[in-house]
């Protein structure tokens, strides 16, 4: 099978490409990525010369770029390409609508014309909104997105559904909880906190630190997406979750403990606007239908991830240069010394 992976130079996409080339060496992968600030071909340095891997620099919102990829012959599409950071969506929603909504529609249209065997939309638990202290999101939970990011992902999900209903495009939507693991861009909670702690700098925790996320290792997510691509029932949505709900403060404290750093590095900062309180997934359907289960326990996964960041200092020092520095300065001010103002909208 020749698989078009969009956003393959990002965190999850690059892990997915590596997974496919390892687990299905007979397959071919075309990586279509615009190489935004989050896209980095260094994430794929080890497969760069694999004859079953091809890279095309292109934007999923540009029909010409997408046509170029489809001209190679595509049997399956896995759409990871997106603007993915909630805080950035609060600062600049427009980019999210363009890539996540328009981009998905352009891709769907090309997939329809090419009569692909399967289109998988990689979505998120955030489209369901926020939970109170009890309960879990199921695939039937109504969409109730609260941030420009999650609204753009929900819009994309509805377009994907519409292409199935209207044109009969064989598709699936996966909705996954928070990922962690190697190659995650250090604007997201876990890598950011590891790197701040390594430098003995303050760890900015939004609000009271009691917001809950469900953490899943990226390798487990990739395996789930791949099962859905190959065996998911056309038209179905599959939740993917880690069964590992923790408050942000618990995660941050665990990172500090692993690194032998003091809790005094925690700094409570202004809350994220519209900050969802709790996400928790019921992922029974993918387990029941496809036999998927998470395999990497969080205590092991977090230790491996911390080690990865310790051993790849050059990688994160490079990605933290350039445009990222501007964003970082705008978002938090100089976090090295002062109290940052996380999530502010200016
Ligand atoms: P990321 O920001 O690390 O990577 C996104 C990639 O998409 C980058 O390589 C970027 O260059 C590329 N991209 C962005 N806009 C593009 C465009 N218009 N055309 C082509 N390429 C473009 O994101 P990630 O964390 O790897 O997330 C990947 C996908 O998984 C996203 O769709 C996200 O919504 C979804 N997701 C992420 C998580 C998570 O915890 N990170 C959880 C559930 C779902
Ligand atoms: O739930 C899946 C989603 O997980 C994905 O769809 C998104 O693409 C991905 O970015 C992630 O979104 P979150 O907003 O949950 O992830 P983030 O790492 O930005 O934040 C996790 C939690 O930590 C959230 O409650 C906000 C908090 N946080 C985050 C940062 C960056 C802090 O307290 N301080 C911080 O500096």
Segment 5-26, tens digit of pLDDT:
999 999 999 999 999 999 999 9
Residue 170 lies in a domain: yes
Structural domain tally of the chain? 1
Residue 310 lies in a domain: no
d(CA 163, CA 82): 19
- Torsion angle in degrees (nearest 10) through CA of 128, 134, 139, 142: -40
Say which ligand is closest to the CA of 80. 1
Residue 339 lies in a domain: no
Range name among 59-63, 153-157, 305-309, 335-339 with the lowest pLDDT average: 335-339
Enclosing domain of residue 109:
2-180+217-243+275-295+321-332
The pLDDT confidence band at residue 344, using thresholds 50, 70 and 90, is very low
CATH of the domain at 141: 3.40.50.720
Residue with tokens 């925690």: 266
Cβ of residue 80 lying under 6 Å from some atom of ligand 1? yes
Residue 100 lies in a domain: yes
**What is the phi/psi pair of residue 278, to 5°?**
-145, 135
**Hey, what are 198's tokens?**
């390594």
308 pLDDT exceeds 60? Answer: yes
Atom of ligand 1 nearest to the CA of 98: 18
pLDDT at 346: 27
Cβ of residue 86 lying under 6 Å from some atom of ligand 2? yes
Residue 256 lies in a domain: no
Pocket test of ligand 1: the residue of 5, 10, 59, 156 to mutate, having most ligand atoms within 8 Å of its CB, is: 10
Distance 164 CA to ligand 2 centre (A): 30
pLDDT at 79: 99
Neighbours of 313 (CB within 10 A): 11
Say which ligand is closest to the CA of 191. 2
Contact at 8 Å (CB) between 137 and 280? yes
Residue 234 lies in a domain: yes
Residue 221 lies in a domain: yes
Cβ of residue 126 lying under 6 Å from some atom of ligand 1? no
Residue 250 lies in a domain: no
240 pLDDT exceeds 80? Answer: yes
**Residue nearest (by alpha carbon) to ligand 1 atom 42:** 178
């Amino acid at each position: 099978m020749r698989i078009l992976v969009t956003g393959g130079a990002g965190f999850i996409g690059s892990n997915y490409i590596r997974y496919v080339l390892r687990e299905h060496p007979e397959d071919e992968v075309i990586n279509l990525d615009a190489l935004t600030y989050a896209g980095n071909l260094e994430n794929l340095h080890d497969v760069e010369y694999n004859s079953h891997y091809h890279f095309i620099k292109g934007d999923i919102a540009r029909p010409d770029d997408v046509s170029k990829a489809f001209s190679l012959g595509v049997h399956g599409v896995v759409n990871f390409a997106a603007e993915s950071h909630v805080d950035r969506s609060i600062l600049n929603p427009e980019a999210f609508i363009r890539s996540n909504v328009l981009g998905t529609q352009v891709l769907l249209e090309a997939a329809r014309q090419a009569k692909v065997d399967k289109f998988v939309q990689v979505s998120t638990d955030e489209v369901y909104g926020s939970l109170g202290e009890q309960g879990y999101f199921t695939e039937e939970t109504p969409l109730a997105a609260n941030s420009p990011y999650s609204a753009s992902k929900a819009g994309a999900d509805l377009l994907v559904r519409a292409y199935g209903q209207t044109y009969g495009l064989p598709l699936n939507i996966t909705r996954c909880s928070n990922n962690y693991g190697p190659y995650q861009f250090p604007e997201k909670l876990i890598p950011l906190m590891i790197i701040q702690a390594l430098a003995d700098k303050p760890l900015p925790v939004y609000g009271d630190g009691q917001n809950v996320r469900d953490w899943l290792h990226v390798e487990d997510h990739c395996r789930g997406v791949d099962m859905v691509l190959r065996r998911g029932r056309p038209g179905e949505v599959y939740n993917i979750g880690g069964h590992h709900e923790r408050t942000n403060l618990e995660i941050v404290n665990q990172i500090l403990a692993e690194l032998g750093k003091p809790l005094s590095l925690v700094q409570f900062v202004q809350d994220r606007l519209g900050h969802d309180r709790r996400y928790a997934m019921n992922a029974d359907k993918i387990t029941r239908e496809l036999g998927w289960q998470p395999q990497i326990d969080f205590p092991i996964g977090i230790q491996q991830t911390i080690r990865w960041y310790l051993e790849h200092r050059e990688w994160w020092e490079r990605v933290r240069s350039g445009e990222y520095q501007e964003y970082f300065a705008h978002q938090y001010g100089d976090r090295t010394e002062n109290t940052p103002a996380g999530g502010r909208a200016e």
